[in-house]
Amino acid sequence: MTAPSTDSLVPLRAGGDGPPVYCVHPVSGSPYCYTDLASRLDAGTPVFGFEAPGFEGFDEPAGSIRELAEVHTATLRAARPHGPYRLLGWSLGGVVAFEMARLLAAEGEEVPLLVVIDAALPGTQPFPPGPALVRYFLHDFLGLVSGGAPELDRVLAKLDPEAGPQERLEAIAESGTVPEEFDAEFLLERFTLFRAHAHAMVDHVIDGVHDGPTTLVRAEESEPHLLLWEPYATRLDQHTVPGDHHSIWREPGLVAIADIVNRALREGTSG
């Protein structure tokens, strides 16, 4: 297992004497998608984010959701030995945060807040075939909403169906459809991490419940059957915000998410 490192816990909003919120990276491995949310949480709330092993290209990606949860839990406890702990995660990060909450509770620690944001349950979606996975990676990497990159899609559509990830990413890098700094080598490095996390999600099985307070935030345009968390969280508070899986991080979805998290934080300050 990858060794925990407090270097992987990055401040998204430092300072403040309130209870910290710890945000778990999505499939990309980067926690910086939470920066705008961090700026909208109540003043005095420090916000930290976990980077995935392998995000900087030095370590191997984690091989499973369980490994991610164990590494991040060890990192969290090295930085803050005891709770209460407040966790938040979007997409894959929601599943990892859920497993972290279970690990912490099993160790006798208090988790007064767990926020799961538009996280499809493992096993509800098949692993995408190669071309679809590359396209999904690019849309996720660039934070695109549905239909938001017709030029990029046209480049991909022109390639041989048998073209592998490297050939596809080289074509995108050379096409001018992504910023110049995203060369083929960089894209392939990030795709390798993305693919490892996608495999981890497909392979993961949730084998227990979390009994602490859990807030589930669904995107209005997401398929409801992918987000049936009721059997796994015994104290579930559910909300729906406008947008799709990615556009919820822009207004008005972002405002709604911040309001939900702030309300949950205020209700849980006695924890």
Domain CATH code at residue 46: 3.40.50.1820
pLDDT single digits (tens) 147-167? 567 888 899 999 998 999 999
The residue among 146, 177, 200 that closes a domain is 200
Please give the residue range of the domain that contains residue 166: 130-200
Residue 20: predicted pLDDT: 96
Instruction: Give CA–CA dist 155/148, Å, rounded.
Output: 14
- Within this chain, do residues 112 and 211 fall inside the same structural domain, yes or no? yes
The span from the CA of 138 to the CA of 239, in Å, is 28
Same domain, 148 and 170: yes
Q: Same domain for 116 and 26? A: yes
Residues 114, 25, 177, 150: what is their CA dihedral angle, to the nearest 10 degrees? -30
Residue 268: the pLDDT is 73
Distance CA 198, CA 107 (A): 28
Q: What's the pLDDT at 2?
A: 53
The span from the CA of 96 to the CA of 169, in Å, is 28
Instruction: Look up the pTM and report it.
Output: 0.93
Instruction: List, for the chain, all residue ranges whose pLDDT scores fall below the cut of 50.
Output: 270-271
Q: Which pLDDT belongs to residue 58?
A: 73
Within a domain: residue 257?
yes
Q: Where are the beta strands (DSSP E) in the chain?
A: 9-13, 21-24, 47-50, 86-90, 113-117, 210-219, 233-241
From CA 52, how far away is CA 30, in angstroms rounded? 7
User: Does 103 lie in the same domain as 37?
Assistant: yes
Is residue 215 helix, strand or coil? strand
Which of 174, 200, 226 is where one domain is finished? 200
Domain count for the chain: 2
Residues 6+ apart with CB under 8 A from 235: 211, 212, 213, 214
DSSP 221-271: TS-GGGG--TTTEEEEEEEEESS-TTGGGSTTHHHHHHHHHHHHHHHTTT-
